[in-house]
Structure 1
């Protein structure tokens, strides 16, 4: 009998199976980061890297080949979710006096809420506060210094009040704009983080009503906050 009849077919003659092509390092790191964002938004920042690695199908040593430490991973999450989505046009828009203040606020919040009104963003923000991770404190500072303090100055300018150069913005004024901003922000927490609705969008008419109410009340409110306690009456 011809030995050739016993020869295995060429594709089975001990040839190695083709290797799975590895992802480039940057792509693999980005994938792990995306899956880490989903993990911590679900489990909070007290979740362990052991559980994270197991859920995304890698080993802890491999995880730490891409991130030096858990803190380094948190920093990458902050950059991806918060810093990279912050738009440089937002502070400029708040200060753009070529537009009415109401229009500036409407444009800003339509854009801003489009970024933050999603489940991962909201849950990460809340979990960071509960775990005493610096993520939400740093974002808080960005909002206050780049948006809300400038808004205090724009309110004074809108209603021809003393400029901040002559009389610094007070903590009471800042609290006033924080209460307005916080009311809008809580709408996203209620819907996105607490799951009271599958609709994460705010009704545009409701947003406009909130802005109109805030701006209309502002001249009297700010004047009261700036007036010495012993002074009575106010004529805008």
Structure 2
């Protein structure tokens, strides 16, 4: 006797806001897996909707990709990080460690790392937009906080050499995710401890390197101010 057929429960009708969220979440997962050459018709099939319905919410692939960028890179940024980096009641060592522990928890995901890498290979503007965002929101602040912590001049403009040093720390932490989600290599078991180690190594060398690239007149003026 054949087994009785089990009726699948009817699918709940989604509101427009829920449908949009469902499409964006599906697009994030789809493009992270297949790269940005993945076709919207395949995405629609995976979501169980028609391609015309997808285009009712996003009139073209570029609009959908822009929404993916906003979802993964902009909406997850925490503005309080910018305030915490500038809180001089806490040592610069501890501020950077706290920030990069929290930031690593945000970016060390399959979607975040793979979308960023695929965007670079495809020539999309994800990377340039996000890196400009980091420079404006974070890197200049870190430079000034390191200068302040080590008695270096805070009035001189931030130099590209200083920014390159910040990049070296930031990239080292990002690369942990590349090792895991791109190369399939093992990563440190204790990620927080590894981040603390990297921050310590950076801070032992960065102040001396910053001093080397600051204008000598600015350094002399700062030294004179400390003698008064």
The match for 2:202 among 185, 204, 214 is 214
Residue 37 (structure 1) aligned to one of 11, 24, 28? 28
Asked whether 1:125 is paired with 2:113, we answer: no
Q: Deviations over 1:53-102 (max 9, x none)?
A: 22222221111011121111111111111111000011111111111000
Change (3 A) 1:160 1:22: same
Q: CA deviation at 1:134?
A: 1.5
The structure in which a higher percent of residues are helix is 2
Q: Which residue of 2 aligns with 1:77?
A: 68
Please, what is the CA RMSD of the aligned residues? 2.0
1:194 to partner: Cα distance? 2.6
Structure with higher Rg: it is 1
Q: Over residues 183-209 of structure 1, what are the superposed CA-to-partner deviations in whole Å (9 max), with x where a residue is unaligned?
A: 111111111233223x68753222212
Match of 2:177 in 1: 188
Aligned length: 209
Q: Unaligned stretches of 5+ in structure 1?
A: 1-17, 229-234
TM-score between the two structures when normalised by the length of structure 2: 0.85
**1: CA distance, partners of 2:207 / 2:49:** 57
Q: Is the 8 A contact 1:102 1:211 kept in 2?
A: yes
- List 4+ stretches of structure 1 deviating above 4 A: 18-21, 199-202
Q: Does 2:142 align with 1:173?
A: no
Which residue does the alignment assign to 2:226?
none
Q: Which residue of 2 aligns with 1:50?
A: 41
Are 2:16 and 1:28 aligned? Answer: no
Distance 1:209 1:132 in 2: 33
Counterparts of 1:109-124 in structure 2 under 5 Å?
Answer: 109-124=100-115
Measured in 1, the distance between the counterparts of 2:40 and 2:106 equals: 27
* TM-score normalized with structure 1 length: 0.82
Cα deviation for residue 226 of structure 1 reads: 2.5
The Cα offsets for residues 125-171 of structure 1, whole Å up to 9 and x where unpaired, read as 111111111222211112111111111111111111111x3x21111
| Counterpart contact for 1:117–1:200, Cα < 8 Å | no
Structure 2 runs not aligned, ≥5 long: 1-8, 217-222, 224-228
